[in-house]
A and B are shown apart, each in its own frame.
Chain A
């Protein structure tokens, strides 16, 4: 079958008339409406953002080698810490997980030829580069220096031009995220291939559905908060100016009503990636499909009612501290359900030690600690001591680096053959994993103790008693910086010269593996028919070959 649809290698072939057989390299720099092109655009864009945000972190950690502010100017230090957080959240994890993997995978996983609104999708991506340009340009005005939280009044009196550009950048990516969320919801509701039942939907798609619903509810509130901040900065209003009748606490509520759910925006798609990667490489059905699917929805519902735990030491009345302590603790339950489900999936498996699997298991190991420290932080009595200290920094890096970043790498190693049509180099991938795992723990584990002992976060100078632990953290950060070198070499080299990948190199059962690697422009010549569940490992008879045919393999 499919002779006419044999994918042409991305760099070869003659110039094609409409429609082209495969995209050329320059197509990836245009307003292309193919969801796969958009997904790759997001992934590559966000990885470069990750490098920039990472270099800022290296500068911050270098400053913290000594207790004195002697490496960079303290205003630049604050600009770096502000933009490090901003970039890692809004230009790395969110666009990579939702924009990148979401756009690339959702249509392929549900047997669709594209997203519901391809043009809107391309528009959503192209809002990101100007936003990034705004952030870069803001450094000519000193850079925003009030933290990624941008609390007024500090944000209203420090580097005002840069702060305004920062607000515009966030509003742009927020708009992008709203458009994307709308697109995912409609796509998942309307575009599934008719033979796919809801209980055959891959868990990544469930996670994307929950994520999108959450983004739709919460992002507009952030836009409102930041919009008011922009007015205060530029048009003489005083929503958040205490000396003119404004109220700074309202801003914190508006900000955290979005930004706490944003934590789930950054982790739910990653949870989805976990649920795809682990069964494939453990050769086991996912343990508790329904529990994992519904726990995403539970996290997203409860996650809307926990935001005040960021404000326990702020202007927060006692009853609120208690209400939000309890709601925060409840989030641990559905999160635990997922963790236990993945661990149980390992049981009785035949685990392949691939780079993708190592990063997924590394995520499990890191996230357990981040979850436990999260429970301690969620209670008001402890939070009153450790709020705004390095204990918090340790916690959210275990969750966001140990969680989101490990998950993104697991996803990249897992889907690299599908996206590029070539295999990654496994030894380099394992080296990357070992360096990342050691580096991350070396960087972030000592921070718990720093916070408990009394070191506040966001400082360029600190009490000399903390110097030893800070040195450790900085060496860990250098190791993390180095760990990206084998990764980058691996990505570039494998993309150019890696061994050709078959359509389904991991023998996986979800639909994206039923097409060639890389997929055809419209994904399939004939849409696949779903005949079994996405995780039916050990249940299918492979005597007549794997369940889906692999056109690319036969041609290669």
Chain B
């Protein structure tokens, strides 16, 4: 009887592992919908790692299962296995290959991070249009932290921005304050809302601050998250790409009702957004509390 050549088996196994890995990595519905320019960048990077990871997973787990079955003790056999203490080229192989993979992933993650605008936060202060400022209580303590930084104006130096090359001035700047257990959004023209409303396709800057403890501003559909830190302004810069109603989630433990610290991020068409702005401008025109007065010029 003709034996199936080992090389053929290896080839078939290799093709199968590749196909399964590609399917798991590229086709499984793991993520919520993509609603920002950054979302596809994150997803594609994750799916690349998932593809490589699945291949690695199948190979290692497969080896474990095959070895466990093939090399189980036969009844009555009390002898030891062949003394095989190592193999330099094999060990070099499984040191170097993962090293190369992680170096490629590392370089690629810098690339993805740059495209996401990770190097941009506060980096172009002359271009950032400050329609509004972060909540004043926070701003006053913002620059007492590092002596080296204290000469700078109270500009967020931490955050995630958009692609620097494409980053023009923000079309809309919103101040976001986290507090136990709500988000407050301050819009230009004095609009204050408990929800985030933004127009689709426009550059939006969020100046994020916290009034009591650390919170974290997260919109899963945007794939963006930035902590709101007391005493330290941060920012997020994004372009929403899809009209819809998405959750804003607090991702940093902030107290007993941390899980309830949720609101909506509504991405409007441009006309809808204009309508929302004008309705709210009228509704909020006479400020009826002193808290609001601070923000009205």
Contacts and interface: CB of A to CB of B under 8 A. Distances in A.
B258 A458 contact: yes
Contacts of B105: 329, 375, 379
Given A315-B232, A539-B83, A379 B253 contact: no
A158 B253 CA distance: 12
Given A315-B227, A381-B113, A463-B247, A291 B42 contact: no
Contacts of A460: 256, 258-259
Contacts of B60: 339-340, 343, 364, 368
A348 B157 CA distance: 57
Nearest to B137: A243
B237 to A, nearest CB: 13
Which of B60, B121, B232, B259 gathers most chain A CB within 10 Å? B259
A336 interface: yes
Interface stretch (A4-12, A47-55, A146-154): A146-154
Interface stretch (B10-18, B93-101, B269-277, B286-294): B93-101
B110 A284 contact: no
Interface string B191-224: 0000000000000000000001110101011011
B218 to A, nearest CB: 7
A245 B30 contact: no
Contacts of B46: 376, 382, 385
Interface in A339-359: 339-341, 343-344, 346-353
A359 to B, nearest CB: 13
Contacts of B231: 242-243, 246-248
A376 B116 CA distance: 17
A530 interface: no
A246 B218 CA distance: 25
Contacts of A538: 79-83
A318 interface: yes
B49 A283 contact: no
Given A242-B141, A385-B220, A449 B30 contact: yes
A288 B214 contact: no
Contacts of A288: 85-87, 91
A144 to B, nearest CB: 12
B95 A337 contact: yes
Contacts of A145: 255-256
A227 interface: no
Contacts of B98: 332-333, 336
Nearest to B234: A315
B297 interface: no
A339 B30 CA distance: 27
Interface in A75-97: 75, 77-78
Contacts, number: 286
A215 interface: no
Interface stretch (A121-129, A254-262, A320-328): A320-328
B229 A157 contact: no
A243 B82 CA distance: 68
B81 A350 contact: yes
Given A154-B254, A349-B71, A352-B73, A343 B64 contact: yes
Which of B60, B63, B103 gathers most chain A CB within 10 Å? B60
Nearest to A69: B259
Given A153-B230, A376-B50, A384 B225 contact: yes
Given A322-B113, A361-B64, A375-B53, A349 B95 contact: no
B226 interface: yes
B109 interface: yes
Contacts of B112: 379, 381
A199 to B, nearest CB: 11
A453 B85 contact: no
Contacts of A58: none
A313 interface: yes
Contact of B81 (A157, A349, A369, A459): A349
Interface residues of B, number: 87
A555 B87 CA distance: 43
Contacts of A457: 251, 253
Nearest to A336: B98
A372 B57 contact: yes
A461 B220 contact: no
Contacts of B22: none
Interface in B44-83: 45-46, 49-50, 53, 56-57, 60-61, 63-64, 67-68, 71-74, 77, 79-83
Nearest to B121: A318
Contact of B79 (A283, A341, A351): A283
Contact of A314 (B102, B227, B259): B227
B168 to A, nearest CB: 20
Contact of A316 (B144, B145, B158): B158
A225 B296 CA distance: 41
Interface in A448-477: 449, 452-454, 456-463
B94 A325 contact: no
A242 B81 contact: no
Contact of B45 (A247, A347, A381): A381
A446 interface: no
Interface in B150-170: 157-158, 160
A246 B85 CA distance: 56
B260 interface: yes
Contacts of A337: 91, 94-95
Contacts of A352: 73
Contacts of A285: 83-85
Nearest to A314: B227
A382 B61 contact: no
Interface in A503-556: 535-539
Given A242-B229, A248-B214, A317-B157, 15 more contacts: A75-B256, A145-B255, A151-B214, A157-B213, A288-B85, A350-B74, A351-B67, A353-B73, A372-B57, A379-B112, A380-B118, A384-B116, A388-B252, A456-B218, A457-B251
11 contacts: A242-B231, A245-B144, A283-B73, A318-B113, A336-B94, A339-B60, A340-B94, A350-B80, A379-B109, A381-B45, A456-B249
10 A-B pairs closest in CB distance: A242-B231, A459-B259, A454-B220, A538-B83, A538-B80, A74-B256, A242-B230, A346-B67, A329-B102, A372-B53
